């Protein structure tokens, strides 16, 4: 990572100067996928799974999950089993009519680096094409 920073001062001889900050970025968590996009027809049940894997160096637990709205999207948090390291979120969505559904999942963690994680979920139910006979 490399960032250039401009510093403004009240020094009449050097009113502004640049500072360059560089350093490695360490990954704290791997979220796959970062956002969920599901497509289907009215009446379908759309399903997806999100895997959340803390890095070896920055292990953490997920303390809870909140959904922003109560749409036709349902989500369940699943803790890792014995030797597994990944948490999972199972997502299901159903609708009887065409339309777009959206929700935002917020995960609370005990990590000092990532106390909150967010995942966007989209479910699109397409208008069914009518076939002419």
* pLDDT at site 130: 60
What average pLDDT does range 50-73 have in this prediction? Answer: 91
What is the average pLDDT score of the chain? 91
* pLDDT at site 131: 58
Architecture of the domain defined by 29-125? Sandwich (2.60)
Instruction: Summarize pLDDT for 36-50 with one digit per residue, the tens.
Output: 999 999 999 999 999
Nearest Cα to 112, choosing from 37, 49, 60, 52?
60
SS (H, E, C) 27-83: CCEEEECCEEEEEECCCCEEEEEEEEEECCCCCCCEEEEEECCCCCEEEEEECCCCC
Structural domain spans, the chain: 29-125
What average pLDDT does range 82-96 have in this prediction? Answer: 90
* pTM flag (> 0.95): no
Q: Rounded to 5 degrees, what are φ and ψ at 5? A: -120, 130
* pLDDT at site 132: 56
Higher pLDDT, 53 or 24: 53
């Amino acid at each position: 990572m490399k960032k250039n920073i401009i510093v403004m001062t009240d020094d009449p001889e050097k009113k502004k100067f640049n500072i360059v900050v560089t350093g490695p970025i360490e990954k704290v968590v791997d979220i796959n996928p970062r956002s969920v996009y599901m497509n289907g027809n009215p009446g379908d049940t759309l399903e997806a799974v999100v895997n959340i894997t803390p890095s070896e160096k920055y292990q953490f637990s997920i303390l809870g999950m909140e959904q922003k709205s109560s749409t036709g999207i349902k989500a369940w948090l699943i803790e890792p089993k014995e030797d597994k390291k990944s948490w999972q979120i199972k997502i299901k969505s159903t609708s009887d009519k065409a339309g777009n559904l959206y929700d935002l999942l917020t995960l609370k963690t005990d990590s000092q680096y990532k106390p909150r994680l967010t995942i966007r979920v989209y479910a699109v139910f397409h208008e069914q094409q009518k076939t002419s006979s």
